[in-house]
Amino acid sequence: MLKKFLTPATILIILGALIGTSLVLYAWRLPPFTSSIEMTDNAYVRGYVTTLSPQVSGYVVDVPVQDYQSVEKGQLLARIDDRIYRQKLAQAEAALATQRAALDNSRQQETAAQARIASSEAAVDSVNADLEQAESQSNRQDSLIRSGVVATSAQEQAHAARDRARAAMAQAKAAVEVSRQDLQTIIVNRNSLEAAVANAQAAVELAKIDLSNTEIRAPRDGKLGEVGVRVGQYVAAGTQLMAVVPKDVWIIANFKETQLAGMTVGQPVEIRVDALDRKVLKGRVERFSPATGSEFSVIKADNASGNFVKIAQRMGVRIAVDDTTEAASLLTPGMSVTVRIDKSVGPA
Q: Which residues pair with 270 in a beta bridge?
A: 282, 340
Domain topology for 83-212:
Helix Hairpins (1.10.287)
The listed CATH number (3.40.718.10, 2.60.40.10, 2.40.30.170, 3.30.1360.20) that belongs to domain 35-49+246-342:
2.40.30.170
Write phi, then psi, for 297 (nearest 5 degrees): -75, 155
Q: Given this model, what pLDDT does residue 223 score? A: 93
Q: Residue 262: which H helix or E strand, with range?
A: none
Q: Given this model, what pLDDT does residue 144 score? A: 59
How many Cβ atoms sit within 10 Å of the Cβ of residue 118?
Answer: 12
The whole-angstrom separation of Cα 43 and Cα 333 is 11
Q: Given this model, what pLDDT does residue 215 score? A: 95
Please list the residue range(s) of the chain that carry CATH number 2.40.50.100: 54-80+214-240
Q: Given this model, what pLDDT does residue 200 score? A: 93
Please list the residue range(s) of the chain that carry CATH number 2.40.30.170: 35-49+246-342
Q: Given this model, what pLDDT does residue 187 score? A: 74
Burial class (CB in 10 A: 0-12, 13-18, 19+), 77: buried
Burial class (CB in 10 A: 0-12, 13-18, 19+), 242: buried
161-191 exposure pattern, b = at least 16 Cβ within 10 A, e = fewer: bbeebeebbeebbebbeebbebbeebeeeee
- SS3 percent helix, strand, coil of the chain, rounded to 5, is 45, 25, 30
Q: Per-block average pLDDT, block size 10, for the chain (348 residues)?
A: 61 78 69 74 92 95 94 95 95 93 81 72 67 64 60 61 68 71 73 89 96 95 93 93 93 90 90 88 92 78 68 89 84 92 80
Class of 54-80+214-240 in CATH: mainly beta
Q: Which residues pair with 217 in a beta bridge?
A: 76
pTM of the model: 0.67
Please list the residue range(s) of the chain that carry CATH number 1.10.287.620: 83-212
Q: Given this model, what pLDDT does residue 27 score? A: 65
- Estimate to the nearest angstrom the gap between the alpha carbon of 285 and the chain centroid: 32
